[in-house]
Amino acid sequence: MSVRRIMGTEVEYGISVPGHPHANSMTLSAQIVNAYAMELDDQAQARWDYEEEHPLRDARGYDMERGQVDPEALTDEDPGLANLILTNGARLYVDHAHPEFSTPEVTDPLDAVVWDKAGELVMLRALRRAAAVPGAMPINLYKNNTDNKGASYGTHENYLVRRDVPFASIVRHLTPFFVTRQVICGAGRVGIGQDGREHGFQLSQRADFFEAEVGLETTLKRPIINTRDEPHADPAKYRRFHVIVGDANLSEISTFVKLASTSVVLALVEADAFDEGLELVDPVREIRDVSHDTGLTHLLRLRDGRRMNALQIQYVYLEAVRKFLDDRWGSDTDASTRLLLERWETLLDVLTVDPFQLADQLDWVAKLKLLDGYRRRDGVGWDHPTLALVDLQYSDIRPEKGLYHHLVRSGRMQRLVSDDAVEHAVNHAPEDTRAWFRGECLRRYGRAVVAASWDSLVFDVPGEDSLQRIPTPEPTRGTRAHVEALLDASPDVTSLLAALRA
């Protein structure tokens, strides 16, 4: 068992124009994505291929009727908005009212951190390019999840899971995990409630927006466990576990532990090796109560009558993982798994004693420490409007403006990955997944790639009567080791298709 599996993140960025609260967010988002297209060469011409999208397929064994869901959930319809596929294997597009960066598929949570951070750089460069257009309004972008006026936008995670794992087991074991993991991966938020009208601070930006335990929706009646069954891979082998319950993290440690711990808990479920009875009486209420409890003492009600706080529940998951690893593999684990076990335990231990010792590691603690400093200095309560502005400024993606970036520059926020690795990831795909084939085809064959999706590429091949689709249903194929020699021997798309058919 390991933290390694096919995974990735999707981040919708908050967008606004100072002094223009009613500016059209969809138009602004299109300006951002189109501005980045100006940074690109021929690969910017490829469109997203919607034929393989199945957003209404439910993991519980049926397809929802199109009329039963919010129209925003119909991601298999081309809205005609800006939509780019990048040479790093990622997707940059307008998701309704927000610019979104979806990372390429990776196999390691540390790589997921790298390409998630590359998304921040892509957005920053798009923002600066858009600002350089004469007469353009000054757009701001934020890596956050709410405008504190009742709207929330997502940060999603995706994990490829074996198809033969009962979905009911995932629901049973991941629900308590998601309700409590926000003590580590919450981004912090000023305001309580969806519109933030109640004064105070909470761990998570997203917790107040969840209204159901299980369901297909992502924008209305948001569920803790999302049931979308759209694997973007061989459906006989895989399901894609689509997680919508997380926050947009700037802290690399929060992002890593969020992804790595979720992956390894899924591995426990795949092995049918987790038998702890942690089912909650009311998960929807508890996810909010945990978020509202910065003292980390709230006791969650379990169906077996016990009461445990979020840290205690997280310890149960950690110990189950550690025991399973020790029993099966001893010390023979990979570096990322060892890093997770070390970080996860240390974070829980320190949170138990004094959360403020983690102000250089976790977003919600770093933000709360900044806010408490303002409150002490100015003698203000949680109702003071300056605090909401500090909250927002923490997530500003501009290095010269964002408070997170200020903490990094001043040595008050730890990092896990290097600037060089992130810079490389802006233009280059992971080498150990099919994303490498996708990115290299865009780089090498340019306009011959007319469309792409996660699991196929569509080529316009000279001499062919119709467009040619190359399926890529196996995420672990199409790697650099697998196809680099083939691509090097194929100077054009005609020779590539001939080699693939041979």
Residues with a known catalytic role:
95
* Alpha helices (H) along 132-220: 167-180, 182-185
Give dist(CA 173, CA 215) in Å, integer. Answer: 16
Amino acid at 98: H
Residues 6+ apart with CB under 8 A from 447: 42, 45, 460
b/e sequence 339-376, b meaning 16+ C-beta within 10 Å: bbbebbeebbebbeeebeebbbbbbbbbbbbbbeeebe
Instruction: Please choose, from the candidates 206, 254, 32, the residue with its C-alpha nearest in 3D space to the C-alpha of residue 123.
Output: 32
Non-local (6+) Cβ contacts of 272 within 8 A are 169
Question: Do residues 493 and 501 touch, judged by C-beta distance below 8 A?
Answer: no
**CA 110 and chain centroid, separation:** 13
Amino acid type, 437: F
- Cα–Cα distances in angstroms (integers) from residue 410 to residues 272, 372, 407, 413, 414, in the given order: 45, 19, 5, 8, 10
